[in-house]
Chains A and B, each alone.
Chain A
Amino acid sequence: MIIKQLSIFVENTKGRLADIADILAKENIDIRALCVADTKDFGILRLIVNDPEKAAIILRENHCTVALTEVLTIKIEDKPGGLAKPIRILSDHGINVEYMYAFVSKEFDSAFVILRVENNEAAIKILLDAGVTLVSSKEIYDM
């Protein structure tokens, strides 16, 4: 249920994101989802890929500062309140969502949301009890 996300430090210089995408593409790493959080000077690029361990090694070889962060992915039901419900359940149980971002898969014809929470184990239990669909790492990597 736990998925490894790459967190990459990027300077806000032109073309840096493209460079990183190129480095990964050359090694046949597929990007499933991404999000950039940034200020004027620098940013953190967050990536979900098909092989995070290998990607981390490749990026470090290319002098990137990279961390692997454990996140959760939930499948969103295609109806109003589909996202609100799981978030509310977590917050009702005192679990804070530090950040989240979404992506869609044509193949599955549905939307997924990546969640970074403080306590993955507790969050998994709460979400499963509430009937939320969690996606396994294998499903994500093989997507």
Chain B
Amino acid sequence: MFFQKEIETMNRKDLEALQLERLKRIVQYCYDNVPFYHQRLTEAKVTADKIKTLSDLQYIPPTTKADIRDSYPFGLFARPMKEMVRIHASSGTTGKPTVVGYTRNDLNMWSDAVARLCVAAGATDEDIVQISFGYGLFTGALGLHYGLEKIGATVIPVSSGNTEKQVMLLNDFGVTALVSTPSYALYMSEVAREKGYDVDKFKLRLGLFGSEGCTPEMRTQVEKGFHLFATDNYGMSELIGPGVSGECEYRDGLHFAEDHFLPEIVDPNTLEHKQEGEIGELIVTTLTKEGIPLLRYRTKDLTRLNYSPCKCGRTHVRMDKVMGRSDDMLKIRGVNVFPSQIESVLVSIPQIGAHYQLIVRREGFSDTLEVKVELVDSSLLDKFEALENLQKTVAGNLRTVLGIQAKVTLCEPKSLERFQGKAQRIVDLRNAGK
């Protein structure tokens, strides 16, 4: 099923021609309407008419979250406030929030983009959808809300919190689709069981999950918790909110709304373009946004792009699930190492716990990586050999995925630090003592 079939299945040549035309237009628009971009583009000597191909993008300096924050609150707005019909903001972990504004056209484009990913995931006008994201300045709830209304689904704006009530409504209203974070969905399923609900009788069939990463392991757990088909979608408030990309029924990558958002993958250190299929930082240019257009916005999210045709018929590029943040990327012996890669290796080995710590050292002229993991399987204690084999298995699997040898240290359970929120599991000692 498609929401805008003609656009979603447009052949790539036409799509790229459309992107180029829109790119030129948005560069001109930014130059004309946003003083910040006027200055940036002038300094970089980039004008709209100099852009001949999509790869000419590389001459435009990237925009960062700091650029938006430095223009707090409305400095990057391209339209007068009179034309803005909505303001959202993302909570800054430090200092001021990042503020974004939407014109009426923006809201319309946004709900189209969300409607597309909902339909691609399998939502229809028959669905009763519970939205368990918090409503407010956060874009998640209202983004999904308007997109789902647009396809004619019945929307229940429960918002976040009060899990027992959430579960009661899931049951009593015969909810068929759930919008939440995957971890909250998992928690709800646990509460439902604790409260004695017969979860097998729930009508839930579809999960539209987002706002946090969802590993394949987590997805399996959520699907076991509630018997539903879990799909992932991606976005961020700076770009629009949810709606930037989302999974189709084949769940082999998230289709970008490429007519509105132009993606690139670059090396986070050098900003050089990566080859198709290589992992790097996602940079996105908003091609049609009026309120706060962004040229080459650095998402700091690490992923890769796949331009090959999808079984669903959509031609728009697919991005992998986000593999981590470029801020967390480590360069060890010249190899890029993402903590998420290490995580995926560790969760696949049941004898060890989910917590880990990475320690990078410089010994002589070479970097070393130590991975500390917690031993949880007591059945290995009978034989010394079994523990040594476990160490070898972990190191071997890490080598396969990372391409470098790591020293694996087994630790006692609960001995590794637990971190609240953003895990600080990396200790880089290479510059210590310098």
Contacts and interface: CB of A to CB of B under 8 A. Distances in A.
A38 B411 CA distance: 14
Contacts of B332: none
Interface in A1-40: 7-11, 37, 39
Contacts of B410: 9, 11, 41-42
Interface string B205-228: 000000000000000000000000
B384 A69 contact: no
Given A9-B375, A65-B378, A98 B412 contact: no
B272 interface: no
B409 interface: yes
A66 interface: yes
A63 interface: yes
Contacts of A65: 375-378, 381, 412-413
B411 A63 contact: no
A38 to B, nearest CB: 9
Contact of B383 (A10, A64, A66, A98): A98
A134 interface: no
A10 B388 CA distance: 14
A67 interface: yes
A123 to B, nearest CB: 16
B387 A69 contact: no
A1 B166 CA distance: 56
B413 A64 contact: yes
Interface string B357-386: 000000000000000000111111111100
A44 interface: yes
Contacts of A8: 381
A42 B381 CA distance: 11
B414 interface: yes
A7 to B, nearest CB: 4
A69 B378 CA distance: 10
B415 interface: yes
| Number of chain B interface residues as a range | 10 to 19
Contact of B381 (A7, A11, A39, A41): A7
Name the prevailing secondary structure of the B interface residues.
mixed
A11 B391 CA distance: 14
Nearest to A116: B382
A63 B412 contact: yes
A37 B384 CA distance: 8
Contacts of A116: 382
Contacts of A63: 412-415
Contacts of A39: 384, 388
Nearest to A10: B412
B380 to A, nearest CB: 8
B382 A69 contact: yes
Contacts of B414: 63
A91 B381 CA distance: 24
A41 B375 CA distance: 13
Contacts of B409: 41-42
A70 to B, nearest CB: 10
The residue among A37, A42, A63 with the most chain B CB atoms within 10 A of its own CB is A42
Most buried by B among A9, A64, A66: A9
Nearest to A63: B414
B387 A67 contact: no
Given A9-B412, A11-B412, A44 B387 contact: yes
Contacts of B381: 7-9, 44, 65-67, 69
B412 A64 contact: yes
Interface in B387-414: 387-388, 409-414
Interface in A37-71: 37, 39, 41-42, 44, 63-67, 69
Contact of B382 (A11, A42, A64, A67): A67
B375 A7 contact: no
Given A63-B414, A67-B378, 5 more contacts: A11-B410, A41-B410, A42-B409, A65-B376, A67-B379
24 contacts: A7-B381, A8-B381, A9-B375, A9-B378, A9-B381, A9-B387, A11-B411, A11-B415, A39-B384, A39-B388, A41-B409, A41-B410, A42-B387, A44-B381, A44-B387, A63-B414, A63-B415, A64-B412, A64-B413, A65-B378, A66-B381, A69-B381, A98-B383, A116-B382
Q: Which 10 pairs show the lowest CB-CB distances between chains A and B?
A: A7-B381, A67-B378, A63-B414, A67-B381, A65-B378, A63-B413, A65-B375, A69-B382, A42-B410, A9-B375
Interface of A: 7-11, 37, 39, 41-42, 44, 63-67, 69, 98, 116
